[in-house]
Amino acid sequence: MKLQLQCVALAMATAMAAGQCSLPGGINGNSGAKDNTGFVNCHGRLKLGGRNDVQIVDESGSAVQLMGISSHGLQWFPQCYTKESISFLVEKWGINLFRAAMYITEHGYSDGNPGVKTLLKNIVQWTKELGIYVIIDWHMLSPGNPSDGAYSEAPAFWEEIAKQYKNEKHVIYEICNEPNGVSWGNIKAYADEIIPIIRKHDKNNIIIVGTTDWSQGVNNVEANPVANPHNVMYTFHFYAGTHMFLYDRIVQNAARVPIFATEWGVSEATGNGGPFLDNAKKFLDLFVDNGIAFSMWSYADKNEVSAALNEGACASKNWDQVSCSGHFLRSYIRTNVQTCSGGGPSPPSNPNPPPSPPSNPNPPPSPPSNPNPPPSPPSIPPSSGGGTCGAWAACQHDTSCCARGLSCMVQSQYYAQCRSDCPNGWACSSQPAPQPQPQPQPQPQPQPQPQPQPQPQPPSSNCGSPIGEWGNCKDNHCCASGLKCYQQSQYYAQCKSSCDKNGWTCKVLS
């Protein structure tokens, strides 16, 4: 039996390495090539529009859905980024967006390797010739403060870039990849310095600003946006094995904040673990429903789960030798991408529309007394429970799928989720999974135990070896030397060297 299990495991690993992993329902793994050459010619310079001006639209005001992939560090995998490789992605996968991640430290631009800027500019030129959009990514990561002295060249860099590309309709500026360990106020101050430098030359192209906690904090910006918000968007990053607790954050902010998912992965935040394809698809479907642009991390042949290519693919110029991650993205894009010929589902011009036209289509940002009217019952029937869908699973299409102890909680007429509690602002019409015989009283059924129902937790960390920085943890003993297990909320904790209280409880779990 042990030998059989080893053979099965080896066979599964071989299949995964060859990109032959099983895909979630709704993704056609056998769809043919999609060619998105000339996508920019169809849409021109992008801007913000749609309801509340939070969605990407083209020059004519029509909604545009960008789907693509990010490079890994240009300094580490330069052989992966050629006109030939990017042409293949455009002509065979159907991408309409490529993100060029120019690291600043870690042997990057300001760390003894100015040559990465040359490669970045080559990518900008190749994407122009191919007719797709490109993100110029100032990939700051460590240190986490975008105003740190390590990034002192930022003003001069953005002056040069904006001046050079002010007339290029396909260019998007990402001015700080993943701020961390600093408050939104610190990030905003940096953005308010850089944005005017770009706008001096380029009045209209989209600018993307990173957010707190490795660009997870899109919930912080609505009350305190940048000083000049014209065509400015805010970064959201997730990794499917670590960040499902952030799903509701997008649900709650997608109609109010211009969000751009410039980086995400099918793995854990470390780049390994998984792949968690069902989780990734839930996020991508939510992005498509709300017209949120995205690019996956990463187009590289690194030996890690999040890489789209198998090791050695770039050296052999085998651009379609995909890993499971690459197979998933290629298939999702081919199934869903918008093309000049009209292929793929068009993103909504009015994401998350209310069931009936509101009397005030642009309500003030202060929280309404009922964020999800109307008063009539939602059209999604409640769950009868007893199914196999776990916590956070979407249940609007199968309201009976929630596992015992969970209920299909209704957020709106269009979305529901298996949960043990109901967030503020949700309609919350639900029927819990079957429980022991309730007391015959008109009051809500009491819980079987006096303590609250257990909340969903992220997957347990394996303490067999120390967990490095950013790894999810359950207690302090799992973290590597110099790190502590800081709690963000009752749902999630991370091994970190320090903790910024902006959005975190910062309790050290013992």
φ/ψ (deg, to 5) at 281: -65, -35
Q: Where does residue 300 fall: left (phi above 0), alpha (psi -120 to 50 degrees), or beta otherwise?
A: beta
Collapsing DSSP to helix, strand or coil, 232 comes out as: strand
Collapsing DSSP to helix, strand or coil, 39 comes out as: helix
Which helix (H) or strand (E) segment holds residue 190: the answer is helix 184-199
147's tokens = 């105003």
State which amino acid sits at residue 328. Answer: F
263 noted as active-site residue: yes
Which has the closest alpha carbon to 314: 88, 52, 55? 88
CA–CA dist 207, 260 (Å, integer): 10
Q: Cβ–Cβ contacts within 10 Å for residue 487, how many?
A: 17
Rg (CA), the chain: 23
Q: Which of 263, 268, 311, 469 is catalytic?
A: 263
Cα-based distances in Å from 55 to 7, 169, 172, 350, 356: 49, 17, 15, 9, 20
Q: DSSP code of 91?
A: I
Could you tell me if 310 and 301 are in contact, meaning their C-beta atoms sit under 8 angstroms apart?
Answer: yes
**Share in percent of the chain as helix, strand, coil (round to 5):** 25, 15, 55
CA–CA dist 244, 448 (Å, integer): 28
Can you spell out the DSSP letters for 357-381?
--S-SS--SSPPSSSS--SSPPSSP
Cα-based distances in Å from 170 to 125, 128, 175: 10, 7, 16
Whether the bond between 371 and the residue before it is cis, its omega within 30 degrees of 0, is: no
CA–CA dist 39, 36 (Å, integer): 6
Q: Tokens 């199934």 belong to which residue?
A: 335
State which amino acid sits at residue 280. Answer: A
178 noted as active-site residue: yes
In this structure, the chain runs to a length of 510
Which helix (H) or strand (E) segment holds residue 121: the answer is helix 115-130
Q: Which of 129, 168, 178, 304 is catalytic?
A: 178
Could you tell me if 150 and 113 are in contact, meaning their C-beta atoms sit under 8 angstroms apart?
Answer: no
Q: Tokens 């330069």 belong to which residue?
A: 78
Kindly give, in sequence order, each residue whose CB lies less than 8 Å from that of residue 475, ignoring residues fewer than 6 positions away. Answer: 485, 509, 510
Q: Where does residue 106 fall: left (phi above 0), alpha (psi -120 to 50 degrees), or beta otherwise?
A: left
State the catalytic residues: 178, 263
